[in-house]
Amino acid sequence: MTTTQGDSGVLAGEERMLVDGALVDATGGARFDVVHPASEEVVGQAADGTVDDLSRAVAAARRAFDAGDWARDVQFRHRCLIQLHDALEANKERLRRILITEVGCPVTVTGSQIESPVAEVKHWAEHGRDFDYLVDTGSHETALGPARRKLNYEPLGVVGAITPWNVPLYLNIAETVPALMAGNTVVLKPAQLTPWSGSELGRIVAEETDIPAGVFNVVTSNANEVGAALSADPRVDMITFTGSTATGRAILAASAPTVKKTLLELGGKSAHIVLDDADFGSALPMAAMMACVMSGQSCVLPSRILLPRSRYDEGLAVLQSSMENFPMGDPWTPGNMQGPQVSETQRQKVLDLIASGRDSGARLVTGGGVPESLPVGYYVQPTLLADVDPDSRIAQEEIFGPVLTVTPYDTEEQAVAIANNSIYGLSGEVSGADVDRAFAVAQRMRTGNVTINGKSHFGITSPFGGTKQSGLGYRNGEQGFTEYLHIKTIGMPQ
């Protein structure tokens, strides 16, 4: 069932789950409400799946992998995923409206959340079709004489995907389509706040592709124990998860008894080192935009700005002007680039962290509260905090809001030390006129990815993964595809 509301474009998505090829209600028919962050109103419902529903989905995925041909027929997988790509393309505007309804993402910036993931389906279909699943490594000398060795790349089995709410359609695709193209079967558990970006994907798979029953399953639920059950289920061979480091630790603990593979993209507290020769007029407005464009709800956001003390006041002035003039408001209005936080809980978390920063001695330059012009909706003002102690809570905890903290430094060595002073290591940025110097600084940052002068590290053809407590493994690139494959080494006669 779909509903619309007024002239806003609000659109509710598929209420049912996809289990073993059928769109079904939750056991007992339970549902939970979905709230539009820009209006604070309930705009629809989703199936409130149970642990039993999850178990049925896992059983279907296990059976489809063990008894079906999906794992063995590359050409069939390619054909089905091209069907999925074409169906997503045809449903793109419907998906866009559902995305804005669930997340509050402004329509102006939905390209990365709609066009990009739809294109990635085709990329992975073609990448998997052309991948060499059997590699002959030639002759090897052994104590028993020469042996020929071949590497056989095989699917892992059943993959459980647990996804977050900030970029839901993108991550639902990023965590399932490479796994499917590699020959695995999948059970997707979308985030509670954004169930429709998962259930709509399930509906499209069921109604518009030839993907066999059980190969792809979607279980929506408002209960945390459903995701925990997926992580612990011995019939699941791998868990892929994007979300908080705290939840990632819980998934590792739940997965440990069955020693299943885990691919984790976790929290970030990335630093942006602005060198003293940087073009502030270019680098800092972009930094402000990155903080606000997704309401700060991005794991790779370089939220800690490190400015040279010699140009500190100049940098603060540029950041303040950029944040005070950033277009924020109704996500349905073209031109607005910052919408609301996804929920009241998330907004309160952001406001609490801002308050903690001020309590620890940070200076509020601009923002810091709820905009008076937007009394309805979970909005937070673009916020700039200066003179931030690098050991304070505001400098150490992921905020996931439109907030930048600024800390001065005196030397490059001090800037790198401050940047590395974090349990996280997901992303980072360096700005400077001397690119070789900026590159040398980037090499010293303990983080999985670094952008220099706005040239993004992120893309479908390049591996993306974190260090320290920001995750395990890679998405994207050749490495991201082989995460979903096991390498079997076979020794044989010449």
User: For the segment 288-299, what is each residue's pLDDT rounded down to a tens digit?
Assistant: 999 999 999 999
What ranges make up the beta strands (E) of 68-184? 134-140, 147-155, 158-162
Joined together, the tokens standing for residue 482 give: 């082989």
Contacts of 240 (CB under 8 A, 6+ apart): 159, 160, 161, 162, 175, 179, 262, 263, 264, 483
Confidence of residue 12 (pLDDT cuts 50, 70, 90): very high
Q: Residues 412, 441: contact at Cβ < 8 Å? A: yes
Mean pLDDT confidence for 350-367: 98
Question: Does 5 score more than 60 pLDDT?
Answer: no
Confidence of residue 1 (pLDDT cuts 50, 70, 90): very low
Listed residue (116, 69, 72, 108) closest to 92, CA to CA: 116
Mean pLDDT confidence for 201-208: 98
Residue 472's H or E segment, with its range, is strand 471-472
| Distance from C-alpha of 7 to C-alpha of 348, rounded to nearest angstrom | 29
CB atoms within 10 A of CB 251: 24
**pLDDT confidence of residue 8:** 62
Mean pLDDT confidence for 199-218: 98
Listed residue (259, 176, 190) closest to 218, CA to CA: 190
| Distance from C-alpha of 379 to C-alpha of 341, rounded to nearest angstrom | 6
Q: What percent of the chain has pLDDT over 90?
A: 98
State the Cα torsion 208-214-220-226 to the nearest 10°.
-170
Place of tokens 């044989």: 492
Q: Residues 275, 430: contact at Cβ < 8 Å? A: yes
pLDDT digits (tens, 9 = 90+) for 107-148: 999 999 999 999 999 999 999 999 999 999 999 999 999 999
**pLDDT confidence of residue 360:** 97
Angle between helices 224-232 and 245-255 (to 10 degrees): 40
Burial 211-231 (b: 16+ CB within 10 A, else e): bbbbbbbbbbbbbeebbbbbb
Q: Alpha helices of 325-472 — where are they, by DSSP H?
A: 344-359, 393-396, 412-420, 435-444
Question: Cα–Cα–Cα angle for 378, 380, 382, nearest 5°?
Answer: 150
Contacts of 269 (CB under 8 A, 6+ apart): 303, 304, 395, 396, 397, 398, 422, 423, 424
Angle between helices 74-90 and 115-130 (to 10 degrees): 170
Question: Does 403 score more than 90 pLDDT?
Answer: yes
Contacts of 184 (CB under 8 A, 6+ apart): 65, 71, 155, 156, 157, 158, 159, 237, 238, 484
| Distance from C-alpha of 451 to C-alpha of 466, rounded to nearest angstrom | 14
Joined together, the tokens standing for residue 195 give: 């169930």
Q: What is the largest CA-CA distance in the chain?
A: 79
The mean of the pLDDT values for the chain is 96
Confidence of residue 82 (pLDDT cuts 50, 70, 90): very high
Q: Please list the active-site residues.
A: 265
